[in-house]
A and B are shown apart, each in its own frame.
Chain A
Amino acid sequence: MNNLLTISGSPHIHTTDSVRKIMYSVIFAMIPAMLVSVYFFGLDAVRIIGVSVVACVAVEYLIQKYLLKGDVTINDGSAVITGVLLAFNVPANLPTWIIIIGAIFAIAIAKMAFGGLGKNPFNPALVGRVFLLISFPAQMTTWPIPKPLFAKSVTDALTGATPLGLLKDGHLANKTIDQIMSDPAMPDYIQQLVGFQTGSLGEMSAIALLIGAAYMFYKKVITWHIPVSYLLTALLFAAIFWLIDPTYYADPLFHLITGGMILGVFYMATDMVTSPMSAKGQIIFGIGCGLLTMIIRFWGSYPEGVSFAILIMNAFTPLINKSFKPKRFGV
């Protein structure tokens, strides 16, 4: 034996799991929703997702290589996730340059400025989205009506409001819930589930998103705590108000399958970096997200509340981590 023995503390074996594998599982889980968006928006979806991903990865690369002059870690897949999620949160007709601005903001400001992966307090894709929403409100709230790849009847370049937008506008116009729901532009629940609704790229199909979520559960990338507490809280909250006044409030199922609820609950609220770490803390986080989402949807000036709710709860994550410790042994 000529070589020197390696000395290091125990343990001497390690899991074969890695950050990269975790991130790639998330990317893999988003494929069904990506395919649905391509089905409904064709090349526009490809353009948005492609530009967003490339821009995110490029920004991260440039910053790590030339600004920080350190290790380049773009192949860990986290920038790709941010790219896809950002794309999922914008309308399909968004100009390319606006997407690029969103990507720069998401990666440079919301992620790298805090020290990169793992150190960012807020979900970068959501920060990017909200930044765009505030800076480019017109472009960010004009949604093209989905046009299935092989459908003939739908006219080109039509835009329309999202179901939640219709709801909010209806309320403003003092319509009853029945009048709002019978609006010809309002898709029925089956259409919403499958994806035939107006909205951002990734919000289209609840079913596609749920398939991906199931895969993430299977891969143990997410746990039940946040999604279940988030969904139950939102549903319960919606149900209470619906029961109090069914002529004004939409039913809970409507809230569940419209807008970014499923996307936010399974793909963004569960972001490991920005959500609490103990089981108890995650449940509190989920409840907070659920409440805030519904409060914004009901009484806020934006029709949709998922992004803001999650970002606000992100801000509480350090406090939650401090206050809700895991169950200790022997205490």
Chain B
Amino acid sequence: MILKTFKLGGVHPPENKVSAGAAIQHLPLPDKLFVPLSQHLGTPAKAIVNRGDDVKTGQLIAKSVGFISANIHSPATGKVAKIDQIIDQTGYKRTAVFIDTQEDVWEEGIDTSPDIERTIKLSKEEIIQRINDMGVVGMGGATFPTHIKMMIPEGKQIQYLIINGVECEPYLTSDHILMMEKGEEILIGTSILMKALGVDKAMVGIEANKPDAIAHLTKLTEKFQGITVHALKVKYPQGGEKQLIKALTGREVPSGKLPLETGCVVDNVGTAYAVYEAVQKNKPLIQRVVTVTGNAARKHANFLVRVGTPIEYLIEHAGGMPADLGKLISGGPMMGKALVSPEAPITKGSSGLLLMPETEAKRAPIKNCIRCARCISACPMGLEPFLLAQLVPLDKWDDAEANRIMDCIECGSCHYICPSGRPLLDFIRLGKDKVGKIIRTRVKQ
């Protein structure tokens, strides 16, 4: 069988999915949680609790502000110790609600039973409202508020819902294990999203390195209308929205446009599960599966943890802080973020923690570009990374824009493949920042 994949570029980093076999393990609640008000793309939520307030698990504690924003709920029962700054995963100081936790008492109306709720009772509008209320955001890492994706502008027609079970980042296994353990819930969540979008076809894309998940979900889809499971050839960055749409439908998102233009909406399997919980169980997004792995990790695990749990708490439960820890990454090795401190809390978008030993932490020395063009062949967007990286230090912003720097999806394939170890994406990111600002001021004028 010829497996589908996207055409342009792509790389094959070693998969290293060591934690693949590890069942989801519920971590006990830590004594303290730090719940950041900014866990999503867009405006931070506004706290509606005060110091000293008692909160219940699942109670709304911060409301979404403005169009692109998301609600935040208390991940535990306890007392609000304070609302203060904390260094979050971005390395910046951000506002968070500090909660001293106690035994769980769930907010009323939340169904905590393990039974699977199969009938979808809510209407299209109610579903979108519920997703909004429950603070569901994209769980693949981008953390874009999900309800906004569901609101299709007048005149646009959506044909496909695409469920992203690709998990193309090396090491990470949280989506994989979720598909194995919560497959049916994911498919119910998919049906809910289909109803909300008014589409009758959904495609689940999974890379061929997860045959068990492909088989499991394919079996389960027999009971569902309009959902098909597709095995994809392993290639990074297949989990990128544009690449996944291309792989499954052959359609290309036009440069500078949204995926909507191709008649597709893409949601992660984790998001589909969160939607199931929100709509069927009335449960807000307050916990998620986080992979803890990496060559410095003492144990490789997939933990189910509450949002706001300090990262060091997860590491302690994975055999403790390694003495040779050189780099701590939130997310995968290709797109993840190196953390300043292990005290930062888990957020809705944290898919994994990668513990790298000192030996892997440092980059190799940078050599001259030998113009080998490997960065071009690797780029899934058809860009010339070497050129962009040359233009940026020269402040050639017009040139950079003309060479489509804004199309870069920051997948890191170029820097990964460069035999000279050139930090191409570092330059490109800088350039995108600058060019983005220039474009915004131009639009305003």
Contact between chains at A328 and B382 (CB < 8 Å): yes
Q: Quick one: which of B323-355 are within 8 Å of A by CB?
A: 323, 325-329, 331, 333-342, 354
From A5, A13, A18, A330, contact of B419 by CB (8 A): A18
Confirm or deny: B358 has a beta carbon within 8 angstroms of a beta carbon on chain A.
yes
For chain B, which range describes its interface: under 10, 10 to 19, 20 to 34, or 35 or more residues? 35 or more
| Stretch of B38-46, B156-164, B179-187, B253-261 lying at the A interface | B253-261
Contact between chains at A9 and B370 (CB < 8 Å): no
Confirm or deny: A133 has a beta carbon within 8 angstroms of a beta carbon on chain B.
no
Confirm or deny: B3 has a beta carbon within 8 angstroms of a beta carbon on chain A.
no
Confirm or deny: B104 has a beta carbon within 8 angstroms of a beta carbon on chain A.
no
Distance in angstroms between the alpha carbons of A274 and B367 in the assembled complex: 17
Contact between chains at A5 and B416 (CB < 8 Å): no
List chain B residues, Cβ under 8 A from A10.
Answer: 331, 333-338, 410, 412, 425
Distance in angstroms between the alpha carbons of A11 and B416 in the assembled complex: 6
List chain A residues, Cβ under 8 A from B339.
Answer: 5, 7
Classify the secondary structure of B's interface with A. Answer: loop
Contact between chains at A14 and B364 (CB < 8 Å): yes
Confirm or deny: B72 has a beta carbon within 8 angstroms of a beta carbon on chain A.
no
List chain B residues, Cβ under 8 A from A273.
Answer: 370-371
Contact between chains at B407 and A330 (CB < 8 Å): yes
List chain B residues, Cβ under 8 A from A73.
Answer: 367
Look across to chain B and name the residue whose beta carbon is closest to the beta carbon of A17: B419
Q: How far is the CB of A111 from chain B (nearest CB, A)?
A: 11
List chain B residues, Cβ under 8 A from A17.
Answer: 417, 419
From B257, B338, B370, B426, contact of A118 by CB (8 A): B370
Q: If the complex has contacts A9-B426, A277-B384, are A15 and B416 also in contact, measured as CB distance less than 8 A?
A: yes
Confirm or deny: B381 has a beta carbon within 8 angstroms of a beta carbon on chain A.
yes
Contact between chains at A328 and B383 (CB < 8 Å): yes
Confirm or deny: A109 has a beta carbon within 8 angstroms of a beta carbon on chain B.
no
Q: How far is the CB of B227 from chain A (nearest CB, A)?
A: 27
Q: How far is the CB of A318 from chain B (nearest CB, A)?
A: 11
Confirm or deny: A219 has a beta carbon within 8 angstroms of a beta carbon on chain B.
no
Q: How far is the CB of A317 from chain B (nearest CB, A)?
A: 9
Confirm or deny: B401 has a beta carbon within 8 angstroms of a beta carbon on chain A.
no
Confirm or deny: B373 has a beta carbon within 8 angstroms of a beta carbon on chain A.
yes
Q: How far is the CB of B56 from chain A (nearest CB, A)?
A: 35
List chain A residues, Cβ under 8 A from B382.
Answer: 326-329, 331
Distance in angstroms between the alpha carbons of A180 and B146 in the assembled complex: 79
Confirm or deny: A19 has a beta carbon within 8 angstroms of a beta carbon on chain B.
yes
List chain B residues, Cβ under 8 A from A116.
Answer: 368
List chain B residues, Cβ under 8 A from A331.
Answer: 254-255, 382, 404
Q: How far is the CB of A138 from chain B (nearest CB, A)?
A: 36
Look across to chain A and name the residue whose beta carbon is closest to the beta carbon of B379: A326
Q: Quick one: which of A93-121 are within 8 Å of B by CB?
A: 115-119
List chain A residues, Cβ under 8 A from B338.
Answer: 5-10, 12
Confirm or deny: B300 has a beta carbon within 8 angstroms of a beta carbon on chain A.
no
Contact between chains at A326 and B384 (CB < 8 Å): yes
Contact between chains at B429 and A3 (CB < 8 Å): no
Confirm or deny: B116 has a beta carbon within 8 angstroms of a beta carbon on chain A.
no
Contact between chains at A329 and B407 (CB < 8 Å): yes
Confirm or deny: A325 has a beta carbon within 8 angstroms of a beta carbon on chain B.
yes
Distance in angstroms between the alpha carbons of A102 and B286 in the assembled complex: 71
Q: If the complex has contacts A5-B339, A11-B425, are A272 and B371 also in contact, measured as CB distance less than 8 A?
A: yes
Q: How far is the CB of A250 from chain B (nearest CB, A)?
A: 35
List chain B residues, Cβ under 8 A from A5.
Answer: 325-328, 338-342, 361
Distance in angstroms between the alpha carbons of A330 and B407 in the assembled complex: 9
Look across to chain A and name the residue whose beta carbon is closest to the beta carbon of B364: A14
From A3, A278, A327, contact of B358 by CB (8 A): A3
Contact between chains at B326 and A117 (CB < 8 Å): no
Distance in angstroms between the alpha carbons of A1 and B328 in the assembled complex: 12
Distance in angstroms between the alpha carbons of A115 and B254 in the assembled complex: 39
Contact between chains at A330 and B257 (CB < 8 Å): yes
Distance in angstroms between the alpha carbons of A18 and B365 in the assembled complex: 11
Contact between chains at B370 and A1 (CB < 8 Å): no
Confirm or deny: B4 has a beta carbon within 8 angstroms of a beta carbon on chain A.
no
Confirm or deny: B436 has a beta carbon within 8 angstroms of a beta carbon on chain A.
no
Q: If the complex has contacts A6-B326, A12-B333, are A326 and B415 also in contact, measured as CB distance less than 8 A?
A: no
Look across to chain A and name the residue whose beta carbon is closest to the beta carbon of B329: A12
**Bitwise interface map of B from 163 to 176 toward A, beta carbon under 8 Å scored 1, else 0:** 00000001000000
**Bitwise interface map of A from 237 to 252 toward B, beta carbon under 8 Å scored 1, else 0:** 0000000000000000
Confirm or deny: A65 has a beta carbon within 8 angstroms of a beta carbon on chain B.
no
**Bitwise interface map of A from 250 to 261 toward B, beta carbon under 8 Å scored 1, else 0:** 000000000000
From B331, B362, B363, B419, contact of A15 by CB (8 A): B419
Distance in angstroms between the alpha carbons of A119 and B368 in the assembled complex: 8
Q: How far is the CB of A58 from chain B (nearest CB, A)?
A: 20
List chain B residues, Cβ under 8 A from A78.
Answer: 370
Confirm or deny: B198 has a beta carbon within 8 angstroms of a beta carbon on chain A.
no
Q: A6-B358, A272-B370, A328-B381 known; 20 other A-B pairs, CB under 8 Å?
A: A1-B325, A5-B339, A5-B340, A5-B342, A8-B327, A8-B363, A9-B423, A9-B429, A10-B337, A10-B412, A11-B333, A12-B329, A14-B363, A19-B420, A117-B370, A118-B368, A273-B371, A277-B371, A327-B8, A330-B407
Q: List 16 A-B contacts (CB under 8 A).
A: A6-B327, A6-B358, A6-B362, A8-B327, A9-B429, A10-B331, A10-B333, A11-B415, A12-B338, A15-B13, A118-B368, A118-B370, A272-B372, A277-B376, A277-B386, A330-B407
